């Protein structure tokens, strides 16, 4: 800043001493003979050597004339001609205008010029209307008299991102002018807008405003060797014209190339000569929109064309653009603020900030010292000697063919007119090429992985060739094949055992890492991971032992089943005891004696078809049904118990982490992994009790030697370990929800979004499951053979239990009715029922007595038994 002030002071001295200081003559307009009617004095700084400056100067003159024509206001306009390539001259022009006692200054066009003048104007309290596209947020506090007179065009970056999204392009190369205000002010908006729609900037290419043809050729040749074919160009028009002419020479304006331009180029495409526009065929651009209908604009446009043709005969096209209408509106803004009184300084600034009217460029209103942002852009396609209007893009709405209340909006460009791409084809370029990159993607692979099913690195005898195989390798190969662009890559073995060191080489030695690399938060400090391609989790693996068989006889049935059998047995015994107790003296006695007899009678019927002599048909009916049910239950129990005793059942020797901590036991983990820190800091193991091992075989040896009591292994690797040693080890406790394997890339890698999308496609189309079956699915057969023999519940015997309980209940009800029939006072219906039941009971008792008599006769005199039996 001190250097700038020194240069300003030096140039000011030169300006005072020599009238021809290099700044063009002051061009003043006004009614010099009637100064008493002058409403204000305004200064303007423009570069009339550029198309923008020419349009601004003509538009300001027309605006000054319209002020007098429509509102009888007179403004004196001092125009200073400067060179935007030399910002110091704009500062000197600003000082000269302040000395001329101007009330406000319009221009200049670039932020580099504005930043030099803003400090001078703020000190002198002169409002300055900046036409620069970029105005940082912090300027309001530092330079309160600085106002943004051009509409904020940051929204165009979202429009460009929407164009990229419409054709499903994922990578973009940005070519921008290497100017601080453009690089720092605009590029972050473009980068963020592209990331929002899932695209990435593969690289930023900065070009100097004074870049030579050799420099342009060298940069374009470098881009031609890359795979990305989608270019977003954010340059000034002169530099852009030179760029496209060079691109045409290098055959980069042909098939498969996509060129998207920002409004800095597209808004001036109407001014480009036919000889130049031939090198821009197929370009799609975002153009600032302003309404070209209405009598007011038509009048302005007609007068502009005539005056512009007269003052600039060297220009072939005379149509006004966005820069002309913005300059026209700026003059009207100052005039409205000056109307009624000759305001100056702070009073004038406050009046300007209250401006609110509809100008030629759109809504003129200031928000935080800047013009309201543009919400609508026009999408054009350069074809032939001019351009085609494809449609419009509106912020928050999307694309449409027309504007207004009848417009139909879409997030994609598909509904707009057909785009004619470079080279003339009507098909959509894919945005990338299959040309091999000079430097393929270097992918690091852990060479010392203990689980060859995931990563297997082998060297030939000569050591000149290395082969890579395994589940992780094949999943990465399948993922790359699903990318929408060609990605050459090369696997490189990493021989260090530490996975943290392997991940740390990303961005240095490797461009990515593939293998059994766990996704851990601590590694996110310098890398990013893809979605996990394996199961997540951490399992506790411990030695297995045979289950305790002391109480195995109760395992065939569940507790509810045992309870159901007991209740039903006692209930059936109670029914039989109640019915038979009058016929058997031994069933009577004290309460305790009767309970014991009833329980004995209940369970005796399970194992004996005799069950004592039963005298009642009701008890016989109940017992027969229960014996059938008991036979089914006993046979089922025997079969299930036999199966359980035949198949070996395993159980863990340790059931929880708490048990390991209490016993101060040593535990193991996989070498080179993140688990040591997790076991010590999270689970609470002492560092001396944590030991690392490199493979499944080393784990098994450590268990056999009693070096460790348990091992913590990631779920994918734990399943492989348990499959190899399914008879010796078992998983215990819950699975800790951490880890999972993923591919590692540098932070902010443009490939990551595409890799994640391709990995999802590999998972959804069944390729991932197929690869898992090929590499680790066969190893899980050992686990699959050990089928469980679950204990049986009452659900499978519900029908049988209902039958036997129902039968006993019916017998009990009939017996109660038989007893109750001896009581008088019953109603007719109940009496009839009791008569029927009583008769049945009588016949039953009679039959029972005859059977008893026959048995007694048979015992006393066997020779008379046949006669007695015949009587019966």
Q: How far apart are CA 106 and CA 76, in angstroms?
A: 13
User: Three-state SS for 121?
Assistant: helix
DSSP type of residue 507: T
- Would you list the DSSP string of 250-298? TT-SSTT-EEEE-HHHHTTGGGS-HHHHGGGTT-EEEEE-----SHHHH
Contact 510, 458 (CB under 8 A): no
Predicted pLDDT at 862: 42
- In our burial notation (b when 16+ CB lie closer than 10 A, e otherwise), range 186-205 reads bbebbbebbeebbbbbbebe
Which residues lie below 8 Å from residue 140, measured CB to CB, with a gap of 6+?
146, 368, 369
pLDDT in tens, 683-704: 889 888 888 887 778 888 888 8
Q: How far apart are CA 174 and CA 190, in angstroms?
A: 9
**Which spans in 312-384 are helix H?**
322-338, 345-353
pLDDT band at 870 (very low <50, low <70, confident <90, very high): very low
Q: Is the pLDDT score of 71 beyond 50?
A: yes
- Which residues are 732's β-sheet partners? 540
Q: Is the pLDDT score of 287 beyond 80?
A: yes
Q: How far apart are CA 372 and CA 279, in angstroms?
A: 35
Query: Rounded to the nearest 10 degrees, how much is the dihedral formed by the CA atoms of 201, 207, 212, 214?
Result: -20
Contact 841, 849 (CB under 8 A): no
Q: Is the pLDDT score of 47 beyond 80?
A: yes
For 408, the token pair is 């139909």
- Which residues are 391's β-sheet partners? 379
Q: How far apart are CA 772 and CA 717, in angstroms?
A: 13
Most trustworthy range by pLDDT among 283-287, 774-778, 860-864, 865-869: 283-287
Predicted pLDDT at 185: 67
Q: Is the pLDDT score of 810 beyond 90?
A: no
Q: Is the pLDDT score of 812 beyond 90?
A: no
Which residues lie below 8 Å from residue 149, measured CB to CB, with a gap of 6+?
106, 129, 130, 131, 326, 329, 330, 333, 371
Q: Give me the mean pLDDT over the 859-867 stretch.
A: 42
Angle of helix 111-123 relative to helix 87-99, nearest 10 degrees, comes to 30
- Would you list the DSSP string of 201-221? EEEEEEE-TT--HHHHHHHHH
**Which spans in 42-110 are helix H?**
51-71, 87-99
Q: Is the pLDDT score of 473 beyond 90?
A: yes
Backbone angles phi, psi at 857, to 5 degrees: -65, -40
Backbone angles phi, psi at 647, to 5 degrees: -85, 130
- Which residues are 383's β-sheet partners? 386
Backbone angles phi, psi at 28, to 5 degrees: -105, 145
Query: Across the chain, what does the average pLDDT equal?
Result: 80
Compute CA distances 717 → 357, 474, 611, whole Å.
70, 17, 61
Most trustworthy range by pLDDT among 376-380, 428-432, 832-836: 376-380
Q: Is the pLDDT score of 734 beyond 90?
A: no
Predicted pLDDT at 77: 93
Sheet holding 527-529, edge to edge: 489-494, 441-446, 512-513, 744-746, 527-529
Predicted pLDDT at 474: 93
Most trustworthy range by pLDDT among 224-233, 714-723, 767-776, 858-867: 224-233
- Which residues are 494's β-sheet partners? 446
Compute CA distances 349 → 63, 99, 110, 120, 265, whole Å.
20, 19, 22, 16, 32
Q: Is the pLDDT score of 825 beyond 70?
A: no
Q: Give me the mean pLDDT over the 312-338 stretch.
A: 92
Helix/strand/coil percentages in the chain, nearest 5 = 50, 20, 35
Extended beta strands in 623-675, E state:
650-652, 667-670
Q: How far apart are CA 513 and CA 745, in angstroms?
A: 7
Closest CA to 224 of 480, 432, 483: 432
Predicted pLDDT at 541: 87
Predicted pLDDT at 632: 84
Q: How far apart are CA 675 and CA 311, in angstroms?
A: 78
Contact 226, 202 (CB under 8 A): yes
Q: Is the pLDDT score of 721 beyond 70?
A: yes
pLDDT band at 172 (very low <50, low <70, confident <90, very high): very high
For 585, the token pair is 């003296």
pLDDT in tens, 182-221: 666 678 888 889 988 878 888 899 999 889 999 999 999 9
Predicted pLDDT at 867: 43
Which residues lie below 8 Å from residue 332, measured CB to CB, with a gap of 6+?
63, 66, 67, 357, 359, 364
Number of other CB atoms surrounding residue 786 within 10 Å? 12
pLDDT band at 849 (very low <50, low <70, confident <90, very high): low
- Which residues are 284's β-sheet partners? 260, 381
Q: Measured on CA atoms in the order 301, 306, 307, 311, is the torsion positive or negative?
A: positive
Pick the more confident residue, 796 or 690.
Answer: 690
Q: How far apart are CA 110 and CA 90, in angstroms?
A: 10
Q: How far apart are CA 298 and CA 292, in angstroms?
A: 7
Q: How far apart are CA 11 and CA 90, in angstroms?
A: 11
Contact 183, 213 (CB under 8 A): no
- In our burial notation (b when 16+ CB lie closer than 10 A, e otherwise), range 46-70 reads bbbebbbbbbbbbbbbbbbebbbee
Q: Is the pLDDT score of 180 beyond 80?
A: no
Q: Percentage of residues in the chain with pLDDT exceeding 90?
A: 29
Pick the more confident residue, 559 or 66.
Answer: 66
Q: How far apart are CA 57 and CA 77, in angstroms?
A: 10
pLDDT band at 55 (very low <50, low <70, confident <90, very high): very high
What's the start-to-end Cα distance of the chain, in Å?
A: 136
User: Three-state SS for 546?
Assistant: strand
Predicted pLDDT at 820: 67
Sheet holding 146-148, edge to edge: 27-29, 75-81, 40-46, 104-106, 128-130, 146-148, 370-371, 363-367, 356-358
Predicted pLDDT at 580: 72
Q: 56-65, 428-437, 821-830: which has the minimum mean pLDDT?
A: 821-830
Q: How far apart are CA 797 and CA 556, in angstroms?
A: 14
Q: 12-21, 159-168, 658-667: which has the minimum mean pLDDT?
A: 12-21
pTM over 0.75: no
Contact 153, 234 (CB under 8 A): no
Q: How far apart are CA 843 and CA 263, in angstroms?
A: 113
Q: 297-301, 469-473, 847-851: which has the minimum mean pLDDT?
A: 847-851
Q: Is 115 exposed, middle or buried (0-12, 13-18, 19+ CB in 10 A)?
A: buried
User: Three-state SS for 41?
Assistant: strand
């Amino acid at each position: 800043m001190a250097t700038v002030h020194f240069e300003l002071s030096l140039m000011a001295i030169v300006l005072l001493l020599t009238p021809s200081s290099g700044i063009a003559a002051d061009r003043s307009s006004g009614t010099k003979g009637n100064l008493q009617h002058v409403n204000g004095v305004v200064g303007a700084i423009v570069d009339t050597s550029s198309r923008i400056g020419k349009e601004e100067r003509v538009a300001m003159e027309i605006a000054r004339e319209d002020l007098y024509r429509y509102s009888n206001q007179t403004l004196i306009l001092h125009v200073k001609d400067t060179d935007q390539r030399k910002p110091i001259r704009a500062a000197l022009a600003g000082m000269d205008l302040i000395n001329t006692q101007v009330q406000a200054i319009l221009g200049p066009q670039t932020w580099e010029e504005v930043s030099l003048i803003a400090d001078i104007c703020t000190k002198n309290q002169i409002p300055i209307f900046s036409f620069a596209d970029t105005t940082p947020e912090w300027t309001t506090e530092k330079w309160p008299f600085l106002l943004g007179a051009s509409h904020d065009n940051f929204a165009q970056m979202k429009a460009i991102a929407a164009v990229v999204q419409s054709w499903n392009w994922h990578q973009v190369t940005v070519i921008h002018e290497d100017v601080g205000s453009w690089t720092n002010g605009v590029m972050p908006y473009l980068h963020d807008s592209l990331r929002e729609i899932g695209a990435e900037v593969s690289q930023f290419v900065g070009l100097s405003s004074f870049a030579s043809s050799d420099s342009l050729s060298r940069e374009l040749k470098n881009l031609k060797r890359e795979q990305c074919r989608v270019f977003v160009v954010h340059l000034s028009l002169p530099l852009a014209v030179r760029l496209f002419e060079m691109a045409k020479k290098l055959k980069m304006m042909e098939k498969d190339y996509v060129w998207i331009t920002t409004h800095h180029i597209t808004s001036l495409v109407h001014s480009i000569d036919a000889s130049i526009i031939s090198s821009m065929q197929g370009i799609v651009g975002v153009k600032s929109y302003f309404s070209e209908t209405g009598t007011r604009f038509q009048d302005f446009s007609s007068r502009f064309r005539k005056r512009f043709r007269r003052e600039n005969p060297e220009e072939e096209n005379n149509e006004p653009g966005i820069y002309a209408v913005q300059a026209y509106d700026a003059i009207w803004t100052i005039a409205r603020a000056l109307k009624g009184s000759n305001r100056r300084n702070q009073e004038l600034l406050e009046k300007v900030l209250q401006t609110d009217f509809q100008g030629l460029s759109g809504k003129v209103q200031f928000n935080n010292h800047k013009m309201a942002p543009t919400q609508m852009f026009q999408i054009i396609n350069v074809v032939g000697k001019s351009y085609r209007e494809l449609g419009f893009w509106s912020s928050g709405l999307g694309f449409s063919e027309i504007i207004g209340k009848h417009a139909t909006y879409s997030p994609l460009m598909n509904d707009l007119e057909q785009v004619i791409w470079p080279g003339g084809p009507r098909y959509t370029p894919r945005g990338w090429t299959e040309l091999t990159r000079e430097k393929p993607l270097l992918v690091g692979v852990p060479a010392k992985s203990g689980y060859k099913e995931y990563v297997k690195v082998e060297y030939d005898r000569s050591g000149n060739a290395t082969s890579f195989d395994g589940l992780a390798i094949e999943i990465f190969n399948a993922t790359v094949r699903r990318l929408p662009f060609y990605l050459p890559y090369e696997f490189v073995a990493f021989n260090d055992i530490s996975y943290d060191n392997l991940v740390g080489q990303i961005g240095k030695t490797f461009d990515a890492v593939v293998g059994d690399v766990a996704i851990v938060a601590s590694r996110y400090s310098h890398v990013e991971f893809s979605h996990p391609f394996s199961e997540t989790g951490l399992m506790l693996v411990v030695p297995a032992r045979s289950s305790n068989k002391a109480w195995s006889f109760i395992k065939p049935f569940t507790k509810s089943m045992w309870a159901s059998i007991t209740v039903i047995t006692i209930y059936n015994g109670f029914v039989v005891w109640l019915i038979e107790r009058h016929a058997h003296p031994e069933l009577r006695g004290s309460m305790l004696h009767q309970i014991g007899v009833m329980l004995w009678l209940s369970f005796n019927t399970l194992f004996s078809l005799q069950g004592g002599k039963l005298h009642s048909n009701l008890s016989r009916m109940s017992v027969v049904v229960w014996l059938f049910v008991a036979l089914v239950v006993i046979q089922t129990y025997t079969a299930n118990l036999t199966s359980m005793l035949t198949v070996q059942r395993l159980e863990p020797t340790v059931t929880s982490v708490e048990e390991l901590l209490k016993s101060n036991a040593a535990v193991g983990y996989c070498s080179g992994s993140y688990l040591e820190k997790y076991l010590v800091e999270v689970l609470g193991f002492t560092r001396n009790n944590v030991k690392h091992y490199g493979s499944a075989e080393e784990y098994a040896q450590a268990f056999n030697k009693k070096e460790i009591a348990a091992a913590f292994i990631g779920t994918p690797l734990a399943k492989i370990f348990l499959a190899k040693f399914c008879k010796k080890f078992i998983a215990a406790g819950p699975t800790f929800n951490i880890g999972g394997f993923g591919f590692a890339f540098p932070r902010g890698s443009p490939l990551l979004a595409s890799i994640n999308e391709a990995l999802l496609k590999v998972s959804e189309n069944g390729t991932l499951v197929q690869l898992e079956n090929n590499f680790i699915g066969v190893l899980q057969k050992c686990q699959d053979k050990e089928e469980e023999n679950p204990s049986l519940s009452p659900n499978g015997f519900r029908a049988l239990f209902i039958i036997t309980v129902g039968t006993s209940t019916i017998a009990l009800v009939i017996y109660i009715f038989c007893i109750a029939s001896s009581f008088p006072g019953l109603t007719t219906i109940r009496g009839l029922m009791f008569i029927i039941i009583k008769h049945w009971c009588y016949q039953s008792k009679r039959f029972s007595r005859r059977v008893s008599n026959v048995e007694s006769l048979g015992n006393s005199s066997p020779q008379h038994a046949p006669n007695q039996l015949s009587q019966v």
